[in-house]
Amino acid sequence: MSEHAAHRNEAQHPESHQKPHDGDPGLSGGTLAEDAAIGGADAAATWDERYRSKPRMWSGKPNPQLVREAGGLRPGKALDLGCGEGADAIWLAQQGWTVTAVDVSAVALDRARSHEKAALARESVHAADGAIASRITWQQADLEQWQPGNSFDLVTAQFLHSQELAWQGPLRTAASAVKPGGTLLVVGHHPDRLPPWGGAGHHHRDMFYTGDELVQELGLAGPEWQLEVQTSRERPVTGPEGQHATIADVVVRATRLP
Ligand SMILES: C[S@@+](CC[C@H](N)C(=O)[O-])C[C@H]1O[C@@H](n2cnc3c(N)ncnc32)[C@H](O)[C@@H]1O
């Protein structure tokens, strides 16, 4: 896994680039209309169209902040919100987590399932006792309405940015799904350090948050939580045309107190 690996592209126009960026496949070369509003659109149809516009959107590698922040946690039940093509969920499952991975796009989830199948086939070749069973439940749902039926030892939302979705509701849902003693990990693009090739879609301020805004909105400085990490980390990335830039990830990790 490369430190440069990251995913996401929240405002990507179908023609914006030809292949997943190796440096930051999620970052957009998008050109969505500047006046498109948050919410109101059919998120499933919109994201399906974005995914269909290219055979692969993201790098296939787990997000670097996830690896860094969750790598030392004891595996249990994890929830990945806005899982995209599944690299994070697959990585978590490989670390021993039982994962529920949710995304609005059926196209992304089909890809995630097939990536998982390929990963399981590779693992099974080395397994002494034959085929390795899936540890991931893929679920298609719109996080504007969806509520988890369970609580989780880890809830992760990595770059859950979308012009069709204000961040506050889904990330409150994420926090509410963390078990006592469990971990919330939210990673997003810092609004002041967005990729220069992000296009007009990146101008939607409601898609992005600072660490302070996130902590305040979710009450993570309050008595129910121990705030473990609140930072902004710079990261070099490569754009769709091979451009280089340094962006910053907002990283917030908190433990729900028992
Ligand atoms: C920028 S991508 C990030 C994907 C993945 N977490 C990653 O880092 O590679 C945002 C993801 O959120 C999903 N998404 C957008 N709106 C959503 C909604 N309303 N409900 C559920 N998922 C949504 C998209 O389909 C997309 O896969």
**Percent of the chain clearing pLDDT 70 (strictly above):** 81
pLDDT of residue 8: 38
For residue 241, give the CATH number of its domain. Answer: 3.40.50.150
Q: What is the pLDDT of residues 184-239, one digit of tens each?
A: 999 999 999 988 887 666 666 779 999 999 999 999 999 999 999 999 999 999 88
What is the mean pLDDT of the segment spanning 57-66?
95
Q: Whose alpha carbon is nearest atom 3 of ligand 1? A: 8
82 Cβ inside 6 Å of ligand 1: yes
Q: Does residue 24 form part of some domain?
A: no
Residue 135: is its pLDDT beyond 60? yes
Q: What is the pLDDT of residues 117-130, one digit of tens each?
A: 999 998 887 777 76
161 Cβ inside 6 Å of ligand 1: yes
25 Cβ inside 6 Å of ligand 1: no
Q: Is 233 helix (H, G, I), strand (E, B) or coil?
A: strand
Q: Whose alpha carbon is nearest atom 11 of ligand 1? A: 82
What is the mean pLDDT of the segment spanning 33-38?
35
pLDDT band at 61 (very low <50, low <70, confident <90, very high): very high
Q: Does residue 201 form part of some domain?
A: yes
Q: Is 237 helix (H, G, I), strand (E, B) or coil?
A: strand
Q: What is the pLDDT of residues 139-194, one digit of tens each?
A: 999 999 999 999 999 999 999 999 889 999 999 999 999 999 999 999 999 999 98
Q: Does residue 28 form part of some domain?
A: no
5 Cβ inside 6 Å of ligand 1: no
Q: Does residue 18 form part of some domain?
A: no
DSSP 138-152: EEE--TTT---SS-E
Mean pLDDT, the chain, integer: 84
- Give this prediction's pTM: 0.86
152 Cβ inside 6 Å of ligand 1: no
Token match 């609140």: residue?
230
108 Cβ inside 6 Å of ligand 1: yes
Task: Give the residue from 82, 78, 116, 98 showing the smallest Cα distance to 7.
Answer: 82
Q: Does residue 38 form part of some domain?
A: no
> Could you tell me which residues are beta bridge partners of residue 152?
178
Atom index in ligand 1 nearest the CA of residue 57 equals: 9
> 46-75: b or e for each residue (b if 16 or more CB lie within 10 Å)?
bbbebbeebeebbbbbbbbbbbbbbeebeb
Q: What is the pLDDT of residues 80-123, one digit of tens each?
A: 999 999 999 999 999 999 999 999 999 999 999 999 999 999 88
pLDDT of residue 41: 52
Q: Does residue 12 form part of some domain?
A: no
Q: Does residue 4 form part of some domain?
A: no
Q: How many domains does the chain have?
A: 1
Q: How far is the CA of 242 from the centre of ligand 1 (A)?
A: 24
Q: How far is the CA of 154 from the centre of ligand 1 (A)?
A: 18
26 Cβ inside 6 Å of ligand 1: yes
Q: Is 254 helix (H, G, I), strand (E, B) or coil?
A: strand
The residue range of the domain holding 230 is 43-256
Q: Does residue 248 form part of some domain?
A: yes
Q: What is the pLDDT of residues 47-56, one digit of tens each?
A: 999 999 999 9
Beta strands at 98-103 and 77-81: parallel, antiparallel or unpaired: parallel
Atom index in ligand 1 nearest the CA of residue 87 equals: 9
Q: How far is the CA of 223 from the centre of ligand 1 (A)?
A: 30
pLDDT of residue 75: 98
